[in-house]
C-alpha cells in the first residue's frame, strides 16, 4: 500500500500546479521554452499581450532578455491579461482604462513588483501553512519594486481523500495587502529564469 501511495504522490507531484481549479495551459510539454522570457511572452499573446505593452512602455525588454547585470535569471510572478484588464475595468479613481494612459514609471512599478532576483522553482519552496491569520514555514521573497514583501509557500493537496499524496501547489500571501494569491501554472522555464503564472482571479496591484 505504501508503494502505491508513493507512486501516486510522485506522479502527481510531476504535474504540480495543474489542478482543475488553478490550471493555465502554457502550451509547453515539459515547461521548457527555448528562448528568453520576453520571447515566451510574445509566443502567447492570448495571455501576455497586455504585459508586453507594459514591459515595452517601461523599457524593461533587456531585463526579460537576461541582459541586466545581476538579473541574468529572475523569478517572475506573472500577471496575465485577465489580471491586468480586471484592474483597469474595476479600479477606482486614478486607475487608467487604457494601458497607453500609464506612464513609463507606473508600468515599471507594476511590472517590477512581480520580479524577484534569481531563479526559484517549485521544489525550492518549502511547505507552509496559514492558521488563524498567522503564517508558518514557506519562505519570504521581495519584489524588486520597493522590495515589497511576499510570503511564498507550497501545499500538497489530498488525492481521493488521502492527505499528502496529491499535487503540490504554490501559494503567495502579500504582506503589503494581506491578499492570498493562487498560481495557475508554475515552472514555465525560458532561458532567463522561471515564470509562475498567477491565477486569473488575481488583480494587478494586489501583490
For 167-193, give the DSSP string: -EEEEEEETTT--EEEEEEEEEB-TTE
DSSP letter (8 states) at residue 140: E
Query: What is the band of 131 on the pLDDT scale with cuts at 50, 70, 90?
Result: confident
Across 11-15, 130-134, 153-157, the highest mean pLDDT is recorded for 153-157
| pLDDT value at residue 29 | 55
Q: How confident is the model over 52-80, as pLDDT tens digits?
A: 999 999 999 999 999 999 999 999 999 99
Any idea which of 11-15, 110-114, 143-147, 192-196 has the lowest mean pLDDT?
11-15
pLDDT of residue 10: 36
- Output the pTM of the full model: 0.86
Percent of the chain with pLDDT over 90: 71
- Of 204, 206, 207, 199, the closest CA to residue 20 belongs to 199
User: Is residue 197 within 8 Å of residue 82, measured between CB atoms?
Assistant: no
The per-residue pLDDT for range 147-187, each reduced to its tens digit, is: 889 999 999 998 888 887 899 999 999 999 999 999 999 99
Give yes or no for residue 40 having a pLDDT over 60: yes
pLDDT surpassing 50 at residue 14: no
pLDDT at 206 over 70: yes
Residue with cell 486607475: 95
Instruction: Write the DSSP symbol of residue 95.
Output: -
DSSP 33: -
Amino acid at each position: 500500500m505504501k508503494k502505491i501511495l508513493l507512486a501516486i504522490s510522485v506522479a502527481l507531484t510531476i504535474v504540480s500546479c495543474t489542478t482543475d481549479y488553478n490550471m493555465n495551459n502554457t502550451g509547453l510539454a515539459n515547461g521548457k521554452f527555448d528562448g528568453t522570457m520576453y520571447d515566451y511572452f510574445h509566443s502567447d499573446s492570448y495571455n501576455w499581450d497586455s504585459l508586453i505593452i507594459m514591459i515595452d512602455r517601461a523599457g524593461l525588454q533587456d531585463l526579460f532578455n537576461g541582459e541586466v547585470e545581476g538579473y541574468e535569471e529572475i523569478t517572475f510572478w506573472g500577471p496575465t491579461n485577465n489580471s491586468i484588464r480586471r484592474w483597469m475595468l474595476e479600479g477606482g479613481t486614478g486607475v487608467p482604462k487604457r494601458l497607453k494612459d500609464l506612464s513609463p514609471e507606473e508600468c515599471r512599478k507594476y511590472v517590477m513588483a512581480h520580479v524577484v532576483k534569481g531563479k526559484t522553482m517549485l521544489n525550492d519552496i518549502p511547505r507552509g501553512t496559514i492558521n488563524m491569520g498567522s503564517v508558518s514555514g514557506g519562505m519570504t521573497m521581495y519584489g524588486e519594486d520597493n522590495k515589497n514583501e511576499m510570503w511564498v509557500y507550497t501545499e500538497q493537496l489530498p488525492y481521493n481523500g488521502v492527505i499528502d499524496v496529491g499535487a503540490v501547489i504554490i501559494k503567495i500571501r502579500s504582506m503589503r495587502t494581506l491578499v492570498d494569491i493562487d498560481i495557475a501554472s508554475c515552472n514555465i522555464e525560458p532561458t532567463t529564469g522561471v515564470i509562475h503564472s498567477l491565477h486569473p482571479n488575481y488583480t494587478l496591484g494586489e501583490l
